[in-house]
Structure 1
Amino acid sequence: MRRRFVIEAVMVATYGHLLVPSRPVEYVIPYSSIMELYDMREGEEAIMEDPGDEAHVRSKIGELIAFFEDPFNRKKIERALQAPWRESPPLLLNESISFVVVQAVDNAHYGEYFDPIETELLLTAMKLEIPLLSDQVELQDRIIEGEVPVQVYDIEDFEFAVEEGVPAE
């Protein structure tokens, strides 16, 4: 059985270990997070501090964009965009990794604490009742402080989340 996680698309490009899990994983990605990849690819703002890492991550962002733009995957994504909260059929990267794109809708429910992408990530995790993966300690702290009913794992705890995880109750 695949473990499911809500995640930002850029984290998949940034953290290589997410693409070699010990068990099959399905990443649920809000569509707006995919659109952020284009901004990052085109933008001049540094993504990584080290120039070598910067070039590598930008390359991975380009590969991920190409994956989502593949005509077969694009068609699946377009189906999800037809209605709020619709999920695309799984987009298979390999035998261990699949992506599901969600047409998440920011309803400003958490607008004063979180930006629109963060809100979509949280609402997706709540609606689908699956954990959120994040590398942002500040976001994790705000989730706890705001008592948002979402299970969140730090990227550094990815293997634990895949192997054992914590029951949602």
Structure 2
Amino acid sequence: MSRRFVIEAVMVAIYGELMVPSAPVEYIVPYTTVMELYEFHHSPETLMINSEDDLHVKNKISELIAYLEEPLNRKKLERALNVPWSKSPSILFGDNISWTVVNAVDTEQYGEFLDPIETEIVLTAQRENAPVLTDQLELIRRIIECEVPVQVFDIGDFEFAMDDSVIL
């Protein structure tokens, strides 16, 4: 049985260890975060402090975009866009990783505390009964402060989150 996490698409490009999990994992990715990949790819802004790391991450983003644009994967993504909250068929990344893209559309429920994409992440986690995986400590803090009923893990705790004994 695979572990499931709601995550932003760019996190997979930034954190390479997410692509080599110790057990099968399903990443549930809101579609708007997939679209952010294109923004990050074309932006002159840096994502990482170190220029070599920034170039590496931008190359990983390019590879991820190219993979998602392959005809079969593009068709799967397009299927998720037909109806609000619909999900794509699994997009496989090797033997242990699958992505399910969700056409999350509600951005108002936590609008006072979370930005639209953060709200989509939280609502997707609630709907899918899956924890959020993020590197944004401020988001984690706001989820806790707002008492949002989702489990959240810092990416630094990814291996711990993968442990079967972690209660979900």
* Distance across 1 between alignment mates of 2:112 and 2:43: 26
User: Quick one: which amino acid aligns to residue 61 of structure 1?
Assistant: I
Identity within the alignment, %:
58
TM-score, with structure 1 as normaliser: 0.97
- Are residues 166 and 107 of structure 1, via their aligned partners in 2, closer, same or farther at CA, if it must alter by over 3 Å? same
Shift of 1:19: 0.4
Asked if structure 1 preserves the Cα contact closer than 8 Å seen for 2:107 and 2:117, the reply is no
Shift of 1:45: 1.0
* Distance across 1 between alignment mates of 2:126 and 2:97: 22
User: Which structure 2 residue ranges, 5 or more long, are not aligned?
Assistant: none
Residue 104 of structure 2 aligns with which residue?
104
Deviation string 1:8-32 (CA, Å, 9 cap, x unpaired) is 0000000000000000111000000
Correspondences of 1:21-100 after superposition (within 5 Å): 21-100=21-100
* Distance across 1 between alignment mates of 2:6 and 2:132: 5
User: Quick one: which amino acid aligns to residue 64 of structure 2?
Assistant: L
Residue 119 of structure 1 aligns with which residue?
119
* Distance across 2 between alignment mates of 1:51 and 1:165: 39
Residue 132 of structure 1 aligns with which residue?
132
User: Which structure 1 residue ranges, 5 or more long, are not aligned?
Assistant: none
Equivalent pairs, count: 168
* Superposition CA RMSD, Å: 0.8
User: Quick one: which amino acid aligns to residue 133 of structure 2?
Assistant: L
Shift of 1:107: 3.6
Shift of 1:165: 5.3
TM-score, with structure 2 as normaliser: 0.98
Runs of 4+ in 1 over 4 A off after TM superposition: none
Asked if structure 2 preserves the Cα contact closer than 8 Å seen for 1:22 and 1:163, the reply is no
User: Quick one: which amino acid aligns to residue 159 of structure 1?
Assistant: E
User: Quick one: which amino acid aligns to residue 120 of structure 1?
Assistant: E
